[in-house]
Amino acid sequence: MKPIEKAQPPWGRWCVLEDDASFKVKRIEVLPGKRLSYQKHFKREEHWYLVKGEAKVTRDGSDYLLAQGESIDIGRGVLHRIENVGTDLLVFIEVQQGDYFGEDDIVRVEDDFGRS
């Protein structure tokens, strides 16, 4: 299946594997030592499944260490971020479910790259 969308933010890259009216699936890669924004969404929840690497996930102020094969759920309105704490590429699959999946449903409260 050909990716529908893709991007290369400063922390790595992502591509959409499937985009449906009721869900979206992304493959996300995070470079060693990088992390995503500390953010939340109001119109979707997410499920992250690690397929490669080691991650520290921060969810509403609590940290969780995840390894390949482990997963975590992120509810609507929950502050969250993922960080690659290993020396290799971190790869995870993100399944979004909700009412809207646009990139403008991101509220960043902290970002290493000055994005708002």
Spans of all domains in the chain: 6-110
Judge contact between 66 and 54, C-beta under 8 A. yes
Higher pLDDT, 116 or 60: 60
* Residues facing residue 12 across a β-bridge: 30
* pLDDT greater than 60 at residue 12: yes
Whether CATH 2.30.110.10 fits 6-110: no
**DSSP 8-state code for residue 47:** E
Q: In angstroms, rounded to a whole number, what is the distance separating the alpha carbons of residues 40 and 108?
A: 7
Judge contact between 42 and 77, C-beta under 8 A. yes
* pLDDT greater than 60 at residue 115: yes
Judge contact between 50 and 68, C-beta under 8 A. yes
| Average pLDDT for the chain | 95
* Residues facing residue 58 across a β-bridge: 63, 81
| Per-residue confidence (pLDDT) for residue 103, from 0 to 100 | 87
Type of residue numbered 9:
P
* pLDDT greater than 70 at residue 60: yes
pTM over cut 0.85: yes
How many CB atoms neighbour CB 42 within 10 A? 12
Judge contact between 91 and 12, C-beta under 8 A. no
